[in-house]
Structure 1
Amino acid sequence: MNRRQIINAAQTSNKAEAFEAADDFPANPNLHRTIGDVIAARYDRREVLTGLLGTSATAALFGAPALAAPRPANAAVSGSQSRYVFDELAWGIDETHHVAAGYDTDILLRWGDPITADAPEFDVMNQSAEAQLQQFGYNNDYVGFLPLNAEGTRGLLCVNHEYTNEEVMFPGLGRQDKAEFAGMTRELAEIEMAAHGGSVVEITRGTDGKWMVVQDGAMNRRISPLNTVMAIGGPAAGHPRMQTGADPTGREVIGTLNNCAGGMTPWGTWLMAEENFHGYFWTDQLDAEGEPDLSAQPEAAQMARYNVPAMWYAWGRYHDRFDITKDPNEVNRFGWVVEVDPLDPLSTPVKHTALGRFAHEGAETTVSPDGRLVIYMGDDSRFEYLYKYVSEGVVSQDRAANSRLLSDGTLYAARFDPDGSLRWLPLVHGYGPLTAENGFASQADVLINARLAADALGATPMDRPEDVSPRGDGTAYVMLTNNSKRKPGQTDAANPRPESDFGHIIEIMEDGGDHAATRGRWSILVQCGNPEIAAVGAQWNPETSENGWFGSPDNCAIDAEGRLWVATDQGRKWDKTGKSDGLYGLETEGSLRGHSKLFFRCPVGAELCGPYFTPDTETLFLAVQHPGTDGTRSLKGFERESTFEDPATRWPDFDPAMPPRPSVVVVTKKGGGRIAT
C-alpha cells in the first residue's frame, strides 16, 4: 500500500487522527544525530528507561525529580509547599469538562456564535460561508488577550482556528479524506475555508465577574483563507519563488492556514503561527503507487521535505491556488508567522518571512536585557527542530517601528549537545554550508527552505517541538509532545526515549539570563507518562500524585507569578494513559521541581489549547478543541467513531440537535481573586 492507503487503513476515527497518522512518515532525512542520540550519549539509555539511575545522575538529568512511584491521589504534599494553591482535580474521562474545586467555568465563545453586529444566528443545518465569516470559527487553538482599559476588565480576545472536522461539522457527510472526498462540494469547502483562520472579539467583564462578548465591538473581525488579503514582508518578499499568476509581485497572498499556537507581541499585536499547511495542497497527478507525482515539479525535493502535497482537504478541486500542478509557488507562501493588529480592523496582516517557513507551533515573545525582541518557535513534526528569532533593533514605543523588528533579525535553529550545552545556529546565507553551491542562492532561499537550512547546519531533530514559554530570567520551557517513530538507535540526550508516546519537557537556560544569547544550557524537567510502569521511563517529582502525571505536553503558559502551566494533546492515544487532556500546574524550582497537579480536564475526544491568563491572573482562558472526536473507540460504553448524528459527546450545549462545538472556556475563582493562590 502507498502512504495515503496506509494512513486511511489505520485505526483513525477522524481527520485529526489522520493528521497524526500522516506524521508517522517523517520528512527529515537528517537523523544521524537526533535529540535521542544526545541524551543517550549523556546518560546510559538502559538506566534511563528502567529507572535505575543513581541519585546524582537523576538530579543532573532531571533536576530534583527522584525515581519513585506517584503518591496516592488523596495523599498530602510533604516538605515544601506547592506554589499552585488548589485542591487537585481527579483524573478521568467522560462527556464533559471538570475544574478544581472552588472555581467557575463559563463557555464564552462556541463555533458558530455571532461575533459581528450583522452576523446571523448559528444554524447548524443551514451553514454558509457568508454566515461563517461573521461567526466564531472552528477548532479554537491559541488564545491571546489584549486589555483595552487599565483595569483589564475590557479587552480583545485573539483566537486561532486551526482546522475543521467535517465528520462532526456537517450533517450527513462523514469523514471525507477516507472517502476520496466523495461528498465534498465547493460550497462545503468554502465553509471550511471560512471556518479556518482567526477571530478578534471584544469581551468585557461585568460587575458580577462574568465575561461576555461585545457583539457590536468596532474591532471584531474574522480572518480566513477564503478572503483575507495579507502582505508578505521580510527577505523573501518579492522573490521569484513567492510569485504566482495571481500575484506576480510575490508580495500579497490571500489568507492563512492551520493556525495552531501563537503569541502576543510586547506592543499588542497578535502572531498567528501557520502549522501543517502542507495538508491543504492538492494534485491530480499521481504515480503508479497512488502517491503524488512530483516528477514534473522543479522544486520536487523541497516539496518532499515539507510533505507537500498531503491532500487532507479538497480545496484544490475548486481553487487552483491549492493545486500544486496549476500553481506550484503558492505553497511557498504558507508556513510563516502572521502578524495582525487587533486594534485596527482595517489593517492588513503581514506574513513575516524573516521568521522562517516550517510547521510553526507557537510564536512566544520576550525582550532581551538590551531591548531586542526574541521569539521562540517549534516545528511541530517528528524529528523537526526548535527555532528562535532575535531582532536587530530594540523594542520601543513606536508600534510601526516595532513591527519592522520582525523583518530585520536572525533566525536560529537549536543544537543540543550531550554535555548539556546548547548552541543556536544562525540560518544566515553564506554561513557555513548555506551557500549557492548547496542550493541556497540567497537569504530568501534559506528562509523559504528553513528545514533544509537547519538540516545543513546540523540542528538537533526533536520529538515534535511544540509550544515554548520564555520566562524573564532567561529560562524557557520546550514542550516535546511525543515521537512513537523514534527507534532505539535514534535516541540522544535531549530526546532520550525510543517509541515515546508520552513526550517530555526541556528547560533551557540561556547564557547570562539573556534570551538573545547564542549559547546556553539545557536539562530535562520531566519525562511524561505513568511513573509506575518502569518501561515507560517517566520521571516526576516523587510527590506527584496519580492525578498529577500526564502525557503529551503541547501548549503552555507562564503566569504573572512565574509559574508554568502545561496543556496536553494526546490525540487518539489517550487510551494509553486513560486520562482526558487537561491543564496542569508544573513546578520548576526547589525541592518540588517536577511536581505536577491537575487543574482542568476536557471532555472526551478534545484537546486543550490556550492557556492564557489576564495580567491580574484572575481570569484564565482555555480553548477546548475538537470535542467528541479523538479516540472515541476507546471510550467505554461508546466504542465507535463519532459522527455529526452520533457523537461521543454533545459538549458544551448537550442539545440533541447540536453536534459538539469547539469552545473557549473562562475560568475564574469563586468569589474572585487570583487563580491558584
Structure 2
Amino acid sequence: MNQQNDNTVLFGNGDELPSNRSDNPHINDLIGGLNRRQVLVGGAAMSALAFLGAALPGDAMAADTQARGNPFKPRSRLPFEAIPTGRADTISVPPGYKATPFIPWGTPITGRYPAFLDDASNSAQDQAEQVGMHHDGMHFFPIDARRGPGLRSDHGLLVLNHEYIDAPLLHPNGPTLVDGKRASAEEVRKEINAHGVSVVEIRRNVRGDWEVVPSRRNRRVTAATPMSIAGPARGNKLLQTRYSPNGTATRGTQNNCSNGFTPWGTYLTCEENWAGYFATRDSALPRELQRYGLRSSSRFGWETLPGDDFERFDATRKAADAKGDYRNEPNHFGWIVEIDPFDPDSTPIKRTALGRFAHEGLIFAPVKPGRPVVCYSGDDSQNEYIYKYVSRDKYRPGKANGRLLDDGTLYVGRFNADGSGDWLPLDLNDRNFLKACLAAGVAFADQGEVLINTRLAADVVGATRMDRPEWGAVNPDNGEVYFTLTNNTARTVADAANPRPANAYGHIIRWRENSRDHAGKRFDWNIFLLAGPEGDSRAPNGQPLGAQNILASPDGLWFDDEGRLWIQTDMSGSQLSAGPFGNNQMLVADPRSGELKRFLVGPLGAEVTGISATPDFRTLFVNIQHPGEGSTATNLLSTWPDGPGKRPRSSTVIVTREDGRRLL
C-alpha cells in the first residue's frame, strides 16, 4: 500500500453543489422587461432603493436638516476615517482604534487546559479542551444575563461557532491517507473535536485587558457531543438510526456558520454545509438526501474508518431497516441547535420546527409580551430560499424558553416583481399548502416529514430562488429586516430581487413586514446595496461605491444598538488575489443617511465574520476565519496572528478605541 499525505482527493472548500432543480421563479427574473442598465442606473435603481411611498435614506436626513434651518451638512454617525483596501497580512482599523487577537484556535479553555503546540501535534483530547478551528458566528452574554437584563460589560461568556477545519494545518504534516482513505482514527477524532462551538468565560483584568477565566462554564460542544431532538420531527421514522432507534437523539453539530441568540438567554448554532460530511453508495437516493446534494464521497473521508463513531457518516443502506445502519444520519443535520451557555451540564437541543436546510443563521424580530416569537433564516446555497418562523404560543418575559421554537409555522418567502412579498406556509394544516402538494404530485406523511424535506416543501409552494441568502439583521430603529445575498455566478437571468445575472459581487436586500408584530403573511421589499466595482454598484445612498466603501460578496450582518449596520465580506479566489477589493473587510452603513465606510480590513486569505459587542459598546468582538486559506505545513500563505514561521490560526479580534470611549 502507498502511504501518502495527498490532500487532492479530499478536503475541498466545503461549498455544496447546487441542488435546486425546481422551476420556481428566481429573484433575478423579477425585473421583467427592464434591462441591466436600467436596473443599475437612474429611476429604476432609485425605486429599488426606496420602499413604496418612502423617501431614500439621504432624503430623510436632508429634510430633517432643512426643517431645523441648518445650512450645514448633518453630523455623520460614522465619525471615523475610512481605511483603504489592502492586501497586508494584518488587521487594519481606523486611526484611534486598536485590534487585538484573542482566543485563537487551540487556546486552552477547559479540562487539563493543554497548551497549543506550534507544530499542531496536540492530541484529539487536547483539541476537545481547546478553542476549535475556524471561528464564525458569535455572541457575548453578560455574566449577569442569566437572571437579569445583562448589563455587565467587563465579564461574560463569549460563545462562538467553528465552521470547518483545514486538515493540512490541523495535523503536524497534514492528514494521513492510505490508498486515498483515512488511516488514523486519532486524526479524525481531532478533526471532529475541532468542529462545533466554544463557550468561553472572559473578563477584563485590572489592566483593562480581556482574559480567559478558568471556569466550570467553559465548554466545548463538538461534532460528537450527545444531543436531543425536539419539535415536529422528533421520533420520525426518517430519524431512526442504529444510535437512536426511536429517532429522538443524535450526536454532534458541524459546519456551524452564523448563529442566533434567544430572548430568554440561550445560544443558537446553525448547521450550514453539512451534507458534504456524509457519503452514500446507494444508486437511488430518497428525496431527503437527493435534494440536499449527498454524493458517493465525503469531504473529509471520516466514514472510511471502522467503528461506530465514524461509520455514522456513511449513509449507505446496509441493514434490513433504518434501525440497523446510518441511512438516516444525514437527516440529523441541517438544523438549528439551542445551547444553554450558562449550564455546562445541559444537553444541546436540535429544534426541528425551524426547518432543515443549510442554515446560515437565525435572527429574531423584536419580541413583544403577549405576541408570538418571530425569527428568520437563510438557506446558504445557490438558488435557495429565505424562511420565517412564527411561534404558536406567545412570548412571556421571565417564563419563555426553547419550547417556543417547537410549535409554530415555518414560512418561505416569495418576492414579487412589484416590491411586495408573501410568506407561504409549509404546514400540512394549511389548505393552500395541501393544494400545492396535490398539484405537484408530492405527499408528506406528517409535519415532521415536511420539515425533514424543507427544501422540497419550499419548491412545491413556489418560493423565490435567491442568490445565496446568508446573514440577516433587524434594524432596531424600525424593525426592517436585512439579508445578504452573497453572490451567485451560476445565475443566467435576472429578476427584481436578484437583479444581476452571473452575480459575482452580491447585494443586500431588506423588507418591511406589513404587520407590526412581524407575524403576518405580507411584506414590502427593496434592494439596500449592490456590491461591486465603481461601474457596477450602488451604495445605500443611490451613488456608485467608491474608494471608501467598495466591496464584494457581503456576508455577515449586524446592527448595533444605535441602528448602524455592520457589513462583513467573504470574497474568495480571484476577488482576493487581484482587482480593486483587496482582502476581506468590514464596513459600517448608516441606513438613515445612506453613508457607508470601510472600518476594518483582515489579513491575507481570511474571511471577516462573526460580530458582537459588550452592552457599553466599548468592546467589539470580530472573528477572523481561515487566514492564509489553502496553507499547508510547508507552504504558509499567512502567518497571522502569531508572526513569521507560525501556522495561521483563526482568531477573535477585540476592537476598542485607544481612548477607551464608545466605539462610535
TM range (shorter): 0.7 to 0.9
Matching residue within 285, 289, 293 for 1:303: 289
Task: Please tell me whether the aligned partners of residues 608 and 625 of structure 2 are also in contact (alpha carbons under 8 angstroms).
Answer: yes
The amino acid that maps onto 1:469 is A
Aligned equivalent of 1:276: 273
Aligned equivalent of 1:476: 481
Alignment deviations for residues 460-500 of structure 1 (CA, whole Å, 9 cap, x no partner): 00000001111342211111100000003xx2110010001
Aligned equivalent of 1:411: 410
Instruction: Summarize the Cα distance change of 1:56–1:267 in structure 2 as closer, same or farther, 3 Å threshold.
Output: closer
The amino acid that maps onto 1:670 is E
- Distance in structure 2 (CA, Å) of the matches to 1:54 and 1:556: 25
Matching residue within 134, 140, 144 for 1:145: 140
Shift of 1:390: 1.3
Shift of 1:61: 7.7
Alignment deviations for residues 634-658 of structure 1 (CA, whole Å, 9 cap, x no partner): xxxxxxx6322221111000152x3
Alignment deviations for residues 97-123 of structure 1 (CA, whole Å, 9 cap, x no partner): 111111121112010110015221112
The amino acid that maps onto 2:657 is K
Which range moves more in the overlay, 511-520 or 493-502?
511-520
SS of residue matched to 1:624: strand
Task: Tell me: higher relative CO, structure 1 or 2? Use CA pairs within 8 A at least 6 residues apart.
Answer: 1
The amino acid that maps onto 1:643 is T
Task: Please tell me whether the aligned partners of residues 475 and 513 of structure 1 are also in contact (alpha carbons under 8 angstroms).
Answer: no
The amino acid that maps onto 1:424 is W
The amino acid that maps onto 1:615 is P
Alignment deviations for residues 373-392 of structure 1 (CA, whole Å, 9 cap, x no partner): 22110100000000111112
Alignment deviations for residues 315-362 of structure 1 (CA, whole Å, 9 cap, x no partner): 111211110114110111100000000110000000000000000001
Instruction: Summarize the Cα distance change of 1:46–1:208 in structure 2 as closer, same or farther, 3 Å threshold.
Output: same
Aligned equivalent of 2:65: none
Task: Please tell me whether the aligned partners of residues 355 and 410 of structure 2 are also in contact (alpha carbons under 8 angstroms).
Answer: yes
- Distance in structure 1 (CA, Å) of the matches to 2:528 and 2:205: 40
Matching residue within 306, 314, 323 for 1:323: 314
Instruction: Summarize the Cα distance change of 1:245–1:59 in structure 2 as closer, same or farther, 3 Å threshold.
Output: closer
Matching residue within 442, 448, 454 for 1:444: 448
Matching residue within 519, 522, 535 for 2:522: 519
Task: Please tell me whether the aligned partners of residues 200 and 222 of structure 1 are also in contact (alpha carbons under 8 angstroms).
Answer: yes
- Distance in structure 2 (CA, Å) of the matches to 1:365 and 1:56: 29
Aligned equivalent of 2:98: 104
Shift of 1:539: 4.8
Alignment deviations for residues 152-186 of structure 1 (CA, whole Å, 9 cap, x no partner): 2110011101100112332322798xx98456522
- Distance in structure 2 (CA, Å) of the matches to 1:598 and 1:184: 46
SS of residue matched to 1:389: strand
Aligned equivalent of 1:585: 588
SS of residue matched to 2:14: helix
- Distance in structure 1 (CA, Å) of the matches to 2:48 and 2:270: 36
> Is 1:666 the counterpart of 2:658 in the alignment?
no
Aligned equivalent of 2:339: 340
Aligned equivalent of 1:596: 596
Task: Please tell me whether the aligned partners of residues 43 and 493 of structure 1 are also in contact (alpha carbons under 8 angstroms).
Answer: no
TM normalised by structure 2 equals 0.88
Instruction: Summarize the Cα distance change of 1:80–1:294 in structure 2 as closer, same or farther, 3 Å threshold.
Output: farther
Shift of 1:420: 0.5
Task: Please tell me whether the aligned partners of residues 139 and 161 of structure 1 are also in contact (alpha carbons under 8 angstroms).
Answer: yes
> Is 1:494 the counterpart of 2:497 in the alignment?
yes
- Distance in structure 1 (CA, Å) of the matches to 2:660 and 2:539: 35
SS of residue matched to 1:99: coil
- Distance in structure 2 (CA, Å) of the matches to 1:600 and 1:666: 12
Alignment of 1:605-644 (within 5 A): 605-629=605-629, 642-644=631-633
- Distance in structure 1 (CA, Å) of the matches to 2:50 and 2:415: 16
- Distance in structure 1 (CA, Å) of the matches to 2:176 and 2:383: 28
Shift of 1:129: 1.1
Alignment deviations for residues 486-526 of structure 1 (CA, whole Å, 9 cap, x no partner): 003xx211001000111000111111443222211001001
Instruction: Summarize the Cα distance change of 1:352–1:549 in structure 2 as closer, same or farther, 3 Å threshold.
Output: same
Instruction: Summarize the Cα distance change of 1:505–1:582 in structure 2 as closer, same or farther, 3 Å threshold.
Output: same
Task: Please tell me whether the aligned partners of residues 563 and 590 of structure 2 are also in contact (alpha carbons under 8 angstroms).
Answer: no
Aligned equivalent of 1:224: 222
Task: Please tell me whether the aligned partners of residues 581 and 606 of structure 1 are also in contact (alpha carbons under 8 angstroms).
Answer: yes
Alignment of 1:172-571 (within 5 A): 172-173=173-174, 181-182=180-181, 185-214=184-213, 216-226=214-224, 228-283=225-280, 285=281, 293-295=282-284, 297=285, 299=286, 301-309=287-295, 311-318=298-305, 319-325=310-316, 326=318, 327-369=326-368, 370-398=370-398, 401-431=400-430, 432-434=432-434, 438-472=442-476, 473-488=478-493, 491-531=494-534, 533=535, 536-539=536-539, 541=541, 542=543, 545-571=546-572
Supply the RMSD in Å over aligned alpha carbons: 2.4
Task: Please tell me whether the aligned partners of residues 51 and 524 of structure 2 are also in contact (alpha carbons under 8 angstroms).
Answer: no
Which range moves more in the overlay, 149-158 or 428-437?
428-437
- Distance in structure 1 (CA, Å) of the matches to 2:443 and 2:379: 22
SS of residue matched to 2:391: strand
Task: Please tell me whether the aligned partners of residues 530 and 538 of structure 1 are also in contact (alpha carbons under 8 angstroms).
Answer: no
Task: Please tell me whether the aligned partners of residues 209 and 672 of structure 1 are also in contact (alpha carbons under 8 angstroms).
Answer: no
- Distance in structure 1 (CA, Å) of the matches to 2:45 and 2:167: 51
Matching residue within 15, 22, 39 for 1:30: 22
SS of residue matched to 2:412: strand
Which range moves more in the overlay, 238-247 or 577-586?
577-586
- Distance in structure 2 (CA, Å) of the matches to 1:448 and 1:392: 20
Shift of 1:449: 0.4
The amino acid that maps onto 1:220 is N
Which range moves more in the overlay, 80-89 or 371-380?
80-89
Aligned equivalent of 2:169: 168
- Distance in structure 2 (CA, Å) of the matches to 1:453 and 1:61: 30
Aligned equivalent of 2:321: none
Instruction: Summarize the Cα distance change of 1:496–1:225 in structure 2 as closer, same or farther, 3 Å threshold.
Output: same
Task: Please tell me whether the aligned partners of residues 35 and 462 of structure 1 are also in contact (alpha carbons under 8 angstroms).
Answer: yes
SS of residue matched to 1:374: strand
> Is 1:648 the counterpart of 2:637 in the alignment?
yes
Aligned length: 613
Show structure 2 runs of 5+ residues with no match.
1-6, 59-71, 145-150, 319-325
- Distance in structure 1 (CA, Å) of the matches to 2:382 and 2:164: 20
Show structure 1 runs of 5+ residues with no match.
1-6, 67-77, 286-292, 630-640
Alignment deviations for residues 165-218 of structure 1 (CA, whole Å, 9 cap, x no partner): 112332322798xx984565222111110000000000002243321111x212
Instruction: Summarize the Cα distance change of 1:410–1:54 in structure 2 as closer, same or farther, 3 Å threshold.
Output: closer
Instruction: Summarize the Cα distance change of 1:424–1:59 in structure 2 as closer, same or farther, 3 Å threshold.
Output: closer
Instruction: Summarize the Cα distance change of 1:549–1:261 in structure 2 as closer, same or farther, 3 Å threshold.
Output: same
- Distance in structure 2 (CA, Å) of the matches to 1:653 and 1:482: 32
TM normalised by structure 1 equals 0.86
Task: Please tell me whether the aligned partners of residues 168 and 647 of structure 1 are also in contact (alpha carbons under 8 angstroms).
Answer: no
The amino acid that maps onto 1:445 is E
Shift of 1:433: 4.2
Shift of 1:302: 2.8
The amino acid that maps onto 1:673 is R
Which range moves more in the overlay, 576-585 or 140-149?
576-585
Alignment deviations for residues 204-245 of structure 1 (CA, whole Å, 9 cap, x no partner): 02243321111x21200000112x110000000001101111
Instruction: Summarize the Cα distance change of 1:424–1:666 in structure 2 as closer, same or farther, 3 Å threshold.
Output: same
- Distance in structure 1 (CA, Å) of the matches to 2:420 and 2:45: 21
SS of residue matched to 1:19: coil
- Distance in structure 1 (CA, Å) of the matches to 2:539 and 2:157: 39
The amino acid that maps onto 2:21 is P
Task: Please tell me whether the aligned partners of residues 388 and 412 of structure 1 are also in contact (alpha carbons under 8 angstroms).
Answer: yes
The amino acid that maps onto 2:633 is F
SS of residue matched to 2:126: helix
SS of residue matched to 2:460: helix
SS of residue matched to 1:367: coil
